[in-house]
Structure formats: structure tokens, C-alpha cells
Structure 1
Amino acid sequence: MNKLNPRYVLLASLLFAASFSLKAAQPQAFEIRDGHFMIDGKPEVIMSGEMHYARIPHQYWRHRLKMMKAMGLNAVATYVFWNIHEPKPGQWDFSGDKDLASYIKTAAEEGLSVILRPGPYVCAEWEFGGYPWWLQNIEGLELRRDNEKFLERVGIYLERLNKEVGDLQVTKGGPIVMVQVENEFGSYAAQRKDIPLEEHRAYNAKIKEMLTAAGFDAPMFTSDGTWLFEGGSIEGALPTGNGENNIEMLRERVNQYHGGQGPYLVAEFYTGWLAHWAEPHPAIDASRIARKTDEYLSNGISFNFYMVHGGTNFGFMNGANYDNKHDIQPDLTSYDYDAPISEAGWATPKYDSLRNVIAVHTGRKLPEPPKPAPVIEIPAIGLSGITDLLSYLKLQKPVVNDQVKTFEELGQGYGYVLYSRHFNQPISGTMEIEGLRDYATVYVNGERVGWLNRYDRNYSMEIDIPFNARLDILVENSGRINYGAEIVNNTKGIVRPVVIAGTEITGDWEMYGLPFDSDMSGDIQAREVRKSQPRLLTSLKGLPVLYRGMFDLGSTGDTFLDMTGWGKGIVFVNGHNLGRYWNVGPQQTLFVPGVWLLEGKNTIVIFEQLNDDPKNEIKTTITPVLHDLRTDLL
């Protein structure tokens, strides 16, 4: 095995870090050669941090990248989220918070190289693992397989992506030094044993070929647990280890699949862990991460902190997992991840520990971290208007069908769908919705009679529908599964027939879409009732409602909405979807970036699904709450 003195390699890394300063004015040569990462012919240790552009307002990108630089890192890694760039077939968006090219250029200006992870599958605790929801509407398409219709769409995506960032590769004088092929495919191959391993490996190799054909020619790599290299490694791509603590195992496995030599990269060195609703928020001790970082650096092992800064799953972009107990485990809106840089961009004790370790090993004085954005506490915001959502939806034109339809069949990716049916004759007994995806509140004649939840496999309830009555079922898509074998089963809404007292309910189902692709403030004001009217709050208790309020600011800053005491729903501020809240926790606050607030008048719209405790106001706080679990409220 070709080894160099680790301290020499680390000193060489300083040259690499400096090479991208001064706005990356001089093209650099980067290659994987002789068992090392080489920059201009000199060995390099990569000290990278994962940070995703779409989880951070673009106005904050430079601040967060400066935080990474001050931590001592020399690279930033990011996934590319296909679904936000192609929300509809052939409709592309690389603007604002989706402007990937600007993100990469900003990283270069701050002296950081870039590791690009374009997928097409990314996992990332992101909705559908980054796949566009509409892929499921293409007949005959099979995800993550050597399938003609799937690969056709992948090819279109990769070619379009190359137009955006291809010229930013190191081979063309840019900061992108490596490109990942697929993502953690070894684990998928291990789970999908119904597909021959040879077919899995052929598919994975084809993704590499398609990246090359699209114009990606920077050095390529794969990313898997080392014990999964058999299914995930590809000839011509460097295998890297995710979560590998055993350095000798990392070397042994990389040597086995890479011609008997390195280099050695822990592509996902976990600083924290993902968090689900209704489950404790994980935390990893800072000293443990610092000790492991010291060990890697002492042995010349490159690494990528996953995550160095998590950010936020704004809107409906949280993903979900599943296990033997839960059919779905939706991820929190916050993607804080217990990372060194907090959700709001603050340096944590973990940040300070890692910064100190890196400074000792590199032997250089690191730049001071930039100051965080100002934080403000806004006086209680009065909620002046309220809208009865069920009544509002019934004014819209429904899709009528003999059978219930999925979100996808209705042409809707995210949000909610109301399934409504009138009964001329009474019926009572057990209502079963085995095809619920994912959370439903149930109403009879405008009164809530229960709720169902895929999380705890609560698919049935007793129901009594009288003569000449209406059944309403409001269904929420809680986020598509992003990891594992179930990613291929990701349609939403009600995906199988509704059954009551053993009878399949068909005939004239009315379906009303509520995608919330805007805050609906222009629409709802016409239906809004002033909250000062008598008995209004009491009459809407237990029903889904839209609250609206206005507030004035003399100056702006980051803040957190305090959702303690609320039920379940989403919040918009000035048209920006902050994401979901749910009283079960552990997250009880929502991050509001100051760059989304305005000096002067601001608008807040809250969709509250449960409304068990109607509100007159909402409060803010300067302290996030991410560890307050209340499973008794499930």
C-alpha cells in the first residue's frame, strides 16, 4: 500500500485550500492517482462538509460557507435534488434557492472546492429521495433499475444539469473536483434481493456511463457502507465508505475494490442523525466526533462531515423512513441534524471542538467565524381572520369518480386532498382505509369524528353515517419515503378502496385538491370571517381552518414561531412555506429566516388541521425547541 506521512499530506492540503481562494482565479489540476487525491501533483487530504443549497435561503449561502471555511474545511459536498429542478416534466427551475451554479461559484469564492452528488437518487431525508413525484405516472417506469423509460428521464435530467454546472468542473478550471455516481446503491441492492445482483450492478454502471455521456468528466466515486461495496461499487469510480469508523476496514475494502490502493474517504462521517416526528431527536456527543476526526487526520484519512450544516426541510420537502413498527416515519421540518452549525447557522460546541482539532492538525490560524444573523422576538401576532376550509373547498370544482384516486392520478404532488361522498342511506360499522397515505381527519356532516394515521398503522375506526349525510376524509401527504425498498411504493392519498362494514364504498366520490403551492391568501380573504364575530371560534373547533394575521416590523432578523399548543399543519410567512408542525414533537418551533421578513407589513397564514384549541394569536421565540416529545398526543 502506497502511504505518505500524514502530516505531509495535511500540509499539502493547505495548498489545496488556498488554491481556491482569490475567487478560484487559476485553474487547478485534481486527480485520483497513486493512491492519493492529487492537486497539482501534490497529495491532498479532503476535509469536507455536507451542506445542501435547497435547505438554506440563498441569501445565507455565503455566511454558511464562511462558517465552514472558519472551521478549517477545504471542501463542501452537496446533493442535487432533481425534484425541485424539474417540478413538472420539461419544466426546469434553477433560480433563487435552486440556483446550484451560483452556490458552487460562491463556494469557490470562499476558497472551497465542491463535491457534487447528482444522484439521480440522493436519499438525504428528502422527499422521494430527490425523484420527481410525477415519475410514478409514467406507465412501465421502474425506479432504480435498468429500465428504458426510467433511464430516458434520467438522461434528460443529467444533460440539463450539465448545462447548468458542467463548465464548473475541475477539468474545465472550476471548483467541482469529484462527482458521485448514484448514491448508496449497495444498500438498495442488498434490500432488493428479488432483483439479481448482476442486474443491479449493470444498472449502477449505466448511471456512470450516462453521467459521462452528459458531460461529467471530473473524477467519479461511489458512496456506500464498506460492507456493501459488492453491490454499490463500479469499475472506474473510487469506492468511499459511509459511516465507517474502522480505518483498517476502510483501507482493506477500498483496496479490494480499487486496484489495491486508496485514497480513503469517509464520504459520510455522521456528526448527528436524522429525526422523525413522534420520536426522540437523536444527539451525538461532540467529544466523540472530535476524537474520531483526530483519528482520521492522524492517519491521513479524508472525510466529509454529514452534515456540517443541515438547514431546514422547507415546504413539503421532508422525506420519510419506515420500519417493522411504522409504515411511515416522516422526517421533521427541521434538518438541524445535531450538526456543528445549527439550523439557524449558529456555531455550536461541536463546531468549536472540531475547529480546534482541525487547527491543531493543520498548524494554522483559522479565520474567525462570521457573526450570526440577528435574532428577534416579535410581539404576539394577532390572527384577525379565519376560514372554514371544508366550506371553502366545497366551492371548488371537484374531480368525480366511482373510485377514490391517488394524488398522482389527480395530478397533484404534495399537500392535501379532500375525499368527499354523500350517502343517501345510513351505514355504520368499522371503516377501513388500508390504503391511507398518510394522515387523515374524518368528518361526518361537518363534525370531526376521528383521525387515522399511517405512522402507527391506525387504519380503521368505528363510524356511524346517518341518512342523507356526507363523509369527508382530509388526507395529508406527510412526505414520500426516501430510503430502502419501499421507495418504489410512494403514491399518496387513498391508494386502495375505502371499506365500511365490509362493503367497498364506490360511486360519486368527490375529490378536492389542496396542493398549497401558494399561501392562498388572495383566495381565502373572500371567504374569511372576522374572528370578532360571536361564537365563531366555538363553531369551528375541531375543523380544519386557515388563520391569517398581519404584523409590522421596524427591523428584521431570524426568529422561531412557537407552535406549542397548536395541533398539526403548515405555516406561510410572506408566501414562504416554512414547513410542517405537529404537536407530538419533538420539534415545537419553526425557523423563520430573517431574509423572508419585511420592514413594514408582513403576512402569516396558518393551516391548522385539528383546531382543538382555536387561537387568537401566535408567538415567536429566540430559542428553537427540537427535543420536546409528546407522544401522548398521537
Structure 2
Amino acid sequence: MSTFSIGQTDFLRDGAPHRILSGAIHYFRVHPDLWADRIRKAKLMGLNTIETYVAWNAHEPRRGEWDVTGANDLGRFLDLIAAEGMDAIVRPGPYICAEWHNGGLPVWLTGMAVDLRSSDERYLTEVTAYLRRVYEIVAPRQIDRGGRVVLVQIENEYGAYGSDARYLEELVRVTKDAGITVPLTTVDQPLDRMLEDGSLDTLHRTGSFGSRVAERLATLREHQSTGPLMCSEFWDGWFDWWGGVHHTTDAATAASDLDALLAAGASVNIYMFHGGTNFGTTNGANHKGRYLPLATSYDYDAPLDEAGNPTAKFHAFREVLAKYTSVPTDAVAAATPAPEFAVPLTPGGSWTDAAPAASLSEAPPTFDALGTLDPLVRYETSLDGRGGLLSFTEVRDLAWVSVDGVSVGRISRSLGERALAIPAGETLSVLVEDQGRVNYDHHLGEEKGLIGPALLDGAPLTGWTATPVAAAAEAALTPVRAGTPTMWQGSFELDAGADLFLETTGWGKGFAFVNGFALGRYWRTGPAQTLYVPAPVTHAGRNTVTVLELEHLLSAEATFVSAPLLGPHEE
């Protein structure tokens, strides 16, 4: 057994000074068959620790349905870290941000009308049950019980959200009662108010930043007067949103900042070491005055790219780390081109027409009121021959409007739209997509769908049906009907399983699957124009590709290219 503690100036491992050199890998963003590869490459770069968040809504999407299998097997992920001879840091939230949908909080929780991230007893009851389940996995894997977990974080950048000390105290109590004995930390941006509000004096404060190292460490030291300094999120890149650019940072500059951090004697967690992918519909969204849904790729311009290949930043960081620790001399293989080929696609049917009609209601219900986790809901009502200006208080987040089966336009939340002129007709259909739940600040938990009264020329439109629509490769089909979203399918042969990059530039907007595995959303607006296909998803012989297209394909073809196309870089 080993010990891990916090001394007057350093972390102490078995009583000796120890520096944490960590990198972030989110197990829920990486195919589980690739976890060991990504962990091994972190060690080869010179790191000694892996950090991960725990995504509550990945483990319990529906209340009481707790899942720790497959991609949610946190215990296996921690065991693989230990098998590589590395330590682990666990950040269970319950709120994680992470550019992950709803900041990691389950939709069923945020729909309970509780005060989130507070000492509200109803909220704490649910959080306590969640944390106890997580700690059942983490506690026996702590370093003083023969495992390799050395730190556990309380909440996440709480000073940017609130200042409820009793809430933090309750999280600490639950954590300790569950048998967590390793040091407990908090993280906040190095601003006085955030560092003060986001922690307790009984916890070890750390910072999150990616530049101006000396200044930010000095601010952190003002609030953490003893013990080691640590940057728990050293931002080495950034995330992308639809309609933006692919964010990158200069490798040499990032390496210089890392060098400055380590030269100051600080410990570090590189955020991210390997970003991975927002598979399926797991992307979050930002809203700092404008709603911006985040892209499927979470490449983050990290040392390991989305497909797990070393980048220039990997080698630059490795050189820096070699000045402060012993770095393995094993070679790290460079990226090799992925197979290139094209597959014709044939229409399979109108996939949004397959679900049974929902019950009638006066006003269009929200996704949350329907209890659906599907990304789409089709709303319909009778126009009785009328037309005019259709308006809503807000559309969350993107709506395709048709009258009598003919498309008449689109309403975009990101563009600030909430109204559309429609022609006279009999049946109004509004297909609404939840493009990703906001993962930051006080937009957490907001409802999705058609919000507020639905009006036609100022008069209420009533008598709505609302039908959730699953985005799944095995969705049932009906014959193709003009103006409806359509499923397209194709097949291809491989000699062996391989990483692939599915190009989407010839398509509009929708969801793609390979062999039933949900790759994620695509959108012509970019920046990313490829979807990453992990090698374990594919196999020798016949493979299938399925596209659920919400608008129209310019090219009825699935093209696989040799490398990712993540879009124009930020200059």
C-alpha cells in the first residue's frame, strides 16, 4: 500500500515530494477498446497521471437506470490506468461542464424544478445517491487501498456559478462518508472572487488557465497559502462550435507556457491530453448571449488528435517534460493515412414518419414534458386553410417548418429567429432538433422544443400532437415522401478493422452511423467536415453506413478520406 497526501510545499507520495504530471482523457469520449492505447501514449509523452470527469448523464440517463457497462465502465478505465503504472484523478462533479450536454447533469434531474448546484435538499438527495454510486467504484481503487486514485475533486469551477458553502460542505461530507480518504481539491479560474467562492479552507484549491502563468500562480498562492500549486486544467487548445472555425494554439507557445508552469514547481493536468469525440448526441452548447451548439469533434487541438495520433504539440510537450522527469524512450508511431473509398447511398425511406402519433395537447409540449431523450420531436396541428405569420416565444433549437408536406422554411435559435411567414394550408408540421444542451452557467437545464405560445398572426394555435423521433440506425421506415427527412444506406468491404474518416461535405445536416454505432451529428456549416470512425466499430468483411439526413444530400455517396477535415483554423 502507498500513501498520498498534501504537505507544506508539495504533494507527498509515501512521504516523499511528488509532482503530478497529468493529462485529461474522458473515458466517455473514447471507444472503450481504445482506452489502453490512449493511456499508454500519455505515459510515453512523460505523464504519470490520467484525469477524468465522470458524466452523470452518461451513467444515469433515466432516473434509477444506472449503467457502468461498456463505454460507461469507469472501474475498467481506472484499472487500465493502474495497469500502465499511472495514477488517476477523478472529478465526479456532479456538474462537470466539459462541453458535454447539460454539463453532465441528467435531464430528468434538471427537469425536477430544484435549485441546481445548491444546498436545496431535493437536489442534494439525488446528488448523494449519484456520488455514492461513483464512490463505490472509486473508493476501493484509492492509492491507500492498493489502487492508483490519488485525488478526488469536489464540484467543478463552482466559483463561476455560486457561493453556497453549505452545498460544498455537504459534498465533502458525502465524499468522506463514502470512504474517500485521498486529498480533496477544487478548481477555479485564478480570479479572487472565483477562488474564494468556489472552495472551502478545508479543501486544496487549484487553478484553471492556459497562459500568463506567473501572474495566475501568484493569484492562486494568495488563496492557497500552503501546499503545492497546481494547474488542474492547463488549457492547451479549445473546443469548436458549429458555424465557427477550428480552434488551434501554437505548439511552441503552449510548450513554453507548460515549461514556465513546471519551472515554477507547479503540478499540472493538461486539458486535454486527448479530447476524443462527442459521439451520438452528447455535445453541449455555449450561451454567453448567443446560443452556439458544439461540434461533434472534440479534437481540442490536443497532443493526441481525435483519432489518437501524436501531433506537433505531443512532441513539443514531450521535450518540455523530459526536462523535469524521466520520459520513456519508446517511439510513438505517427499517423498513417486511413483507407480512401466511396460508397453509393440509396434512400431507405422517410425515417421521421415511422413513430406513432402522440396524444393531443392544447399547446406544443416541450421535449422535457414528453420525457424524451431523442434529439427530435415532430409537432403537428391543423391550420384549417389559414396562413400568416407563425411565431413562438423561442425555438430550441432548430425547426424545419412545412405546410401540407411542403417545406416552407427554417427557424434558427442561433440566428435569433422565432417567426416565419407560412402559406395557407391544412396541416402544419414543425420538426424541432435539440442541438445540444447548454453546459455552462445559468442556462443549465433549460427546456427544449417549442417554447411559449404558438401564434398565427397573433392568435393562439392549439390542438398539437408531438411525436419524439429517434435518431437511430435501426429506425423503422415508411415509403419516401417528398419533403421529409430521409434515411440513406450503403455498404463497403474492409480487409480488417480500421480507423476511418467519413467526409460529410456533400450532405446537409443530420446523423451518421457505421455498423449501427452513432458517430454523431454532421452539418454543412462546419467547421468539421469529417466524422471519426473508431477502428473497433469496423471489421473485416461487409460494413454498413447509415445517414439520417434532415435536409437534402447534394451527393448520394458516402466518401471516406485519408485524414480528418476539421475546418479552417483560427488565425
Q: Measure the CA separation in 1 of the matches of 2:197 and 2:71.
A: 34
Q: Measure the CA separation in 1 of the matches of 2:211 and 2:559.
A: 43
Asked if 1:565 corresponds to 2:506, the answer is yes
Instruction: Assess if the C-alpha contact under 8 Å between 1:588 and 1:628 holds in 2.
Output: no
Query: Which shows bigger deviation, 220-229 or 383-392?
Result: 383-392
Q: How much does 1:374 deviate?
A: 6.4
Match of 1:7 in 2: none
- Number of matched pairs: 568
Match of 1:281 in 2: 246
Instruction: Assess if the C-alpha contact under 8 Å between 2:321 and 2:327 holds in 1.
Output: no
Instruction: Assess if the C-alpha contact under 8 Å between 2:381 and 2:465 holds in 1.
Output: yes
Question: Which among 401, 419, 425 is matched to residue 379 of structure 2?
Answer: 419
Asked if 1:403 corresponds to 2:363, the answer is yes
Asked if 1:502 corresponds to 2:443, the answer is no
Q: How much does 1:220 deviate?
A: 0.4
Match of 1:591 in 2: 532
Describe the SS at the equivalent of 2:161: helix
Q: How much does 1:254 deviate?
A: 3.9
Match of 2:190 in 1: 226
Aligned AA for 1:505?
L
Q: Measure the CA separation in 2 of the matches of 1:246 and 1:589.
A: 34
Match of 1:305 in 2: 270
> Which runs of structure 2 are paired with 1:234-249 in the superposition (5 Å)?
234-243=200-209, 245-249=211-215
1:352-401 deviation digits (Å, cap 9, x = unpaired): 11101111332x352324446865325311223331235434xx132321
1:153-207 deviation digits (Å, cap 9, x = unpaired): 1011011111222200123221110000000000112xxxxxxx4xx22222222
Asked if 1:339 corresponds to 2:302, the answer is yes
> Which runs of structure 2 are paired with 1:332-371 in the superposition (5 Å)?
332-362=295-325, 364-371=326-333
Match of 1:520 in 2: 474
Aligned AA for 2:428?
L
Q: Measure the CA separation in 1 of the matches of 2:214 and 2:299.
A: 31
1:429-457 deviation digits (Å, cap 9, x = unpaired): 22112221101111111111100111111
Asked if 1:618 corresponds to 2:558, the answer is yes
Question: Which among 550, 555, 561 is matched to residue 609 of structure 1?
Answer: 550
Match of 1:176 in 2: 149
Match of 1:271 in 2: 236
Match of 1:216 in 2: 180
Asked if 1:451 corresponds to 2:410, the answer is yes
Q: Measure the CA separation in 2 of the matches of 1:389 and 1:69.
A: 45
Q: Measure the CA separation in 1 of the matches of 2:259 and 2:505.
A: 40
Question: TM-score, structure 1 length as denominator?
Answer: 0.86
Match of 2:121 in 1: 148
Percent of residue pairs identical:
36
Match of 1:125 in 2: 99
Q: How much does 1:402 deviate?
A: 1.3
Query: Which shows bigger deviation, 270-279 or 367-376?
Result: 367-376
Instruction: Assess if the C-alpha contact under 8 Å between 1:233 and 1:257 holds in 2.
Output: no
Describe the SS at the equivalent of 1:63: helix
Asked if 1:627 corresponds to 2:570, the answer is no
Aligned AA for 1:558?
D
1:506-555 deviation digits (Å, cap 9, x = unpaired): 12x11111133x3225x23xx356xxxxxxxxx73x53111122222222
Larger radius of gyration: 1
Extract structure 1 runs of 4+ deviating beyond 6 A: none
Q: Measure the CA separation in 2 of the matches of 1:91 and 1:543.
A: 34
Aligned AA for 2:202?
G
- Shift of the 628–288 alpha-carbon distance from structure 1 to 2, 3 Å rule, reads closer
Question: Which among 382, 390, 405 is matched to residue 431 of structure 1?
Answer: 390
Match of 2:443 in 1: 486
Match of 1:160 in 2: 133
Q: Measure the CA separation in 2 of the matches of 1:564 and 1:618.
A: 10
Q: Measure the CA separation in 2 of the matches of 1:408 and 1:147.
A: 21
Runs of 5+ in structure 1 lacking a partner?
1-26, 190-196, 530-538, 630-634
Q: Measure the CA separation in 2 of the matches of 1:247 and 1:391.
A: 55
Q: Measure the CA separation in 1 of the matches of 2:111 and 2:208.
A: 33
Q: Measure the CA separation in 2 of the matches of 1:444 and 1:373.
A: 49
Describe the SS at the equivalent of 1:605: strand
- Shift of the 492–57 alpha-carbon distance from structure 1 to 2, 3 Å rule, reads same
> Which runs of structure 2 are paired with 1:549-560 in the superposition (5 Å)?
549-560=490-501
Q: How much does 1:230 deviate?
A: 1.2
Describe the SS at the equivalent of 2:97: coil
Q: Measure the CA separation in 2 of the matches of 1:369 and 1:271.
A: 23
Q: How much does 1:247 deviate?
A: 4.6
Q: Measure the CA separation in 2 of the matches of 1:365 and 1:224.
A: 30
Q: Measure the CA separation in 2 of the matches of 1:379 and 1:124.
A: 34
Cα root mean square deviation, aligned: 1.9
Q: Measure the CA separation in 2 of the matches of 1:252 and 1:621.
A: 47
Match of 2:261 in 1: 296
Instruction: Assess if the C-alpha contact under 8 Å between 2:221 and 2:229 holds in 1.
Output: no
Aligned AA for 1:617?
E
Instruction: Assess if the C-alpha contact under 8 Å between 1:159 and 1:215 holds in 2.
Output: no
Q: Measure the CA separation in 2 of the matches of 1:583 and 1:110.
A: 41
1:393-431 deviation digits (Å, cap 9, x = unpaired): 4xx13232111111111111231000011222x322221
Question: Which among 338, 346, 353 is matched to residue 384 of structure 1?
Answer: 346
Aligned AA for 2:422?
I
Question: TM-score, structure 2 length as denominator?
Answer: 0.96
- Shift of the 218–305 alpha-carbon distance from structure 1 to 2, 3 Å rule, reads same
Aligned AA for 2:196?
E
Q: Measure the CA separation in 2 of the matches of 1:33 and 1:253.
A: 20
> Which runs of structure 2 are paired with 1:3-14 in the superposition (5 Å)?
none
- Shift of the 365–158 alpha-carbon distance from structure 1 to 2, 3 Å rule, reads closer
